[in-house]
Structure 1
Amino acid sequence: MNANNPLVSVVIPTKDRSDKLPIAIESVLQQTYSNLEIIVVDDGSTVPVSLDFTDPRIKIIHLDKPKGVAAARNIALREAQGEFMCLLDDDDYYYPNKIEDQLNYLFQHPEVDIVYSLMEYNFWHKGKKETIIYKHALIYDMYNFKYCTNVIHNNSTLFRKRVLERISFDERLTKYTDTQFYMAASLCCVIHHLPVVVAVWNIGWGTHQITARRKFIKNYKNHTILCEIFRETIDSNPLYRKKFYRRLGIYALACGDIIGAFRAFKRMLPGYFSWRQVNKL
């Protein structure tokens, strides 16, 4: 570890999860690296967040009205004083080695802006848990745009503060906020993979569930925004056109938007045929 022991800021946005939040905070307090600040952003919880922890490294920011997770993260990141930053969802947790291992990697690779690692996925269904260690089916040094849509999770990263000079979370999004952040980062930052398990992602553990119909509507709306944000990059590459616009078309069909689906598939076609041609070579 570098003798300077720089401050690391951990950002935890939360809303109405008072039963899960203490587990997330405790996992940060138990880190093997201790020069930390924990910034909890209460995004307009029905009952304002109140913690039993007395650790002076914890700071709570209360928002009077919900602004969404993207805005909550941006607010906390602007307040953060650390030289390095990391993010944690309020219903998940870190393993004790998370920050120290990733910080050591960034010390050893000063050219790297962001390091991400493996996650343990806990799938909860009817009170039962199935655990999977997700091992990326990728070469670890491949970190370009197309992989950031389904590889990098907020819980798995540590990044330098300088990253925030280039990108932020898009506050129009209510879903895919981490996808947007790391897709944007892949266009202007150096991202490396460190193949160690550093955190746990609990899927289906929360109390808030939505119907399939509402889920597709939310997916459609937010994927449309992603396609708008990255339109220039998507349109410039046949593989991206195929991937992003096909998904947009499927969401549109699921929501009953036939015209929207037609437009999406039409935008996909040049990319689809170009992609087919490239793969025949």
Structure 2
Amino acid sequence: MKPLVSVIIPTYNRDYILEGAIKSVLKQTYKPIELIVVDDGSKDQTPFIVKRYPLKYVRLPKNFGVSFARNRGILKSKGELIAFLDSDDEFLPQKIEKQVDFFLKNLQCKVLQTEELWYKGEKRLNPKKHHAKAEGFFLDRAVKLCVVSISTVMLKREVFHELGLFDEEFPVCEDYEYWLRVALHLPVYLLKEPLVVKHGGRKDQLSERKGLDFYRIKALLKTFRNYYPRLSEEEKLLILAEAKRKTQIFSKGALKHGNLKALFELSKMWSNFYPKALPKF
């Protein structure tokens, strides 16, 4: 019996582009699929668009943020395998079929991503070398930037039982924080074929917000604190060194733009970070 795959699309005020994502899931060559659209309090025509399609619609009463929306989708889902799709991206037709086939042939795999095609408007972009997708154990790369793409990844449900859900305290960089957790526990497998179309360059994308390093620093310090007893000395240095590097860059930018509130919050974050039990590095 073929495993059920749950595909979760969180969305917020994306009525102008959401249908492309929905249709790309419904056109998959693989069945069975459970498609869940989580509407994070949209005030546009999203409810009317979603009703045209055979899917599970979860409407939230207000805008809670992408972590909350994804988590509601996970909790509502029934699939053995769970995939995510941002509402401005699209799956290519064989995406799910090829990932399921990989899982069935590689039973040890728990997290699998694919390559993707990048577009900014109508223009095709070539990812830079440092954007190369993670494969295997990847903490050394996970601390620097997000090298697992949320719209390409498929996970076994058990991963969420083992590592928890997305952290709802992160309005942005929630995927960066989650992949840090994954990187400490599991290898990521890679299908070296582009099976997702990723669209970028719009102002409503979370990745376009300023000051993202604030939340990356928060994620690094959280990871260090929560997993301190099991971290090797090398891992401790790797995480703290990157947190301090990002702090220097962020502080310089905040000073330049007079963002004293952000500097205060960052200082407070570091002050609360060092419990008496931990030596200062």
| TM-score bracket for the superposition, by shorter chain length | 0.7 to 0.9
**Cα offset, 1:209, TM superposition:** 7.2
Contact 1:12 1:40 (8 Å CA) reproduced:
yes
Which residues of structure 2 form unaligned runs of 5+?
A: 275-279
2:220 to 218, 227, 233: 227
Q: Which residue of structure 2 lines up, in the alignment, with residue 85 of structure 1?
A: 82
1:120 to 97, 117, 120: 117
Contact 1:118 1:133 (8 Å CA) reproduced:
no
Q: Which residue of structure 2 lines up, in the alignment, with residue 98 of structure 1?
A: 95
Q: Which residue of structure 2 lines up, in the alignment, with residue 152 of structure 1?
A: 148
Q: Counterparts in 2 of 1:230-269, with a 5 A limit? A: 230-232=223-225, 236=233, 237-256=236-255, 260=266
Contact 1:95 1:198 (8 Å CA) reproduced:
yes
**Cα offset, 1:164, TM superposition:** 1.1
Aligned-pair identity in percent equals: 26
Q: Which residue of structure 2 lines up, in the alignment, with residue 132 of structure 1?
A: 126
Q: Match of 2:47, SS? A: coil
Matched residues in 2 for 1:245 and 1:140: separation? 23
**Farther off after superposition, 73-82 or 144-153:** 144-153
Q: Match of 1:248, SS? A: helix
- Kindly report the root-mean-square deviation, in angstroms, between the aligned alpha carbons of the 2 structures: 2.9
**Cα offset, 1:175, TM superposition:** 1.2
Matched residues in 1 for 2:90 and 2:118: separation? 11
Q: Match of 2:193, SS? A: strand
**Cα offset, 1:139, TM superposition:** 9.4
Contact 2:5 2:83 (8 Å CA) reproduced:
yes
Q: Counterparts in 2 of 1:169-188, with a 5 A limit? A: 169-188=166-185
**Cα offset, 1:244, TM superposition:** 2.6
**Cα offset, 1:136, TM superposition:** 6.9
Contact 2:135 2:187 (8 Å CA) reproduced:
no
**TM-score, normalising length from structure 2?**
0.80
Q: Which residue of structure 2 lines up, in the alignment, with residue 49 of structure 1?
A: 47
Q: Which residue of structure 2 lines up, in the alignment, with residue 198 of structure 1?
A: 195
**TM-score, normalising length from structure 1?**
0.80
**Cα offset, 1:225, TM superposition:** 2.1
Partner amino acid for 2:124? E
Matched residues in 1 for 2:116 and 2:130: separation? 10
Inter-CA distance 65–40: structure 2 relative to 1 (3 Å threshold): same
Tell me how many residue pairs correspond in the alignment. Answer: 255
- 1:196-254 CA-to-partner distances (Å, cap 9, x unmatched) read 111111111x35379x9x612xx243123212321245884333322232012211221
Matched residues in 2 for 1:21 and 1:69: separation? 15
Q: Match of 1:230, SS? A: helix
Partner amino acid for 2:24? S
Q: Counterparts in 2 of 1:263-278, with a 5 A limit? A: none
Matched residues in 1 for 2:131 and 2:60: separation? 40
Which residues of structure 1 form unaligned runs of 5+?
A: 272-281
Q: Which residue of structure 1 lines up, in the alignment, with residue 277 of structure 2?
A: none
Matched residues in 2 for 1:248 and 1:133: separation? 26
Matched residues in 1 for 2:127 and 2:23: separation? 22
- 1:183-206 CA-to-partner distances (Å, cap 9, x unmatched) read 1112223421221111111111x3
Q: Which residue of structure 2 lines up, in the alignment, with residue 274 of structure 1?
A: none
1:215 to 210, 217, 225: 210
Matched residues in 1 for 2:76 and 2:170: separation? 21
